[in-house]
A = this chain, B = another copy of it.
Amino acid sequence: MIFKALSNETRVQILEWLKKPDANFGPQLYLPPDSDFKGGICVGSIQEKTGLAQSVVSNYLLLMKKAGLLESRRYGQWTYYRRNDETFMQLADFIKNEM
């Protein structure tokens, strides 16, 4: 559930960081330069910034992906996550018009 996914402070923090990936994370050296997945950040970079265990962060990211808040793409051994801004817009509209 989307509100469940947003009910954890660290998860919201990750979403915030991913609004400005270049400013908040180091360069993603293994993301192919010709990729159309710009703004994607690998699990390891996010894990490092949170200071939490790798399994925790991996779970957080998967949870937010299931909720539609993130999308992911794998390149080689790296999985890159980035925001799915469409979902945020839809959520805002839903709250404004349906709730």
| B1 engages A7 (CB within 8 Å) | yes
Number of copies: 2
Interface residues of A in 6-44 (CB under 8 A from B): 6-7, 12, 15-16
Whether a CB of chain B sits under 8 angstroms from the CB of A56 is: no
A26 to chain B, nearest CB (A): 24
| A88 engages B99 (CB within 8 Å) | yes
Given contacts A88-B96, A92-B92, A95-B91, contact A7 B3 (CB under 8 A): yes
A1 to B7, CA, bound (A): 7
Q: Return chain B residues, CB-CB under 8 Å to A6.
A: 3
Whether a CB of chain B sits under 8 angstroms from the CB of A93 is: yes
Q: Return chain B residues, CB-CB under 8 Å to A3.
A: 3-4, 6-7
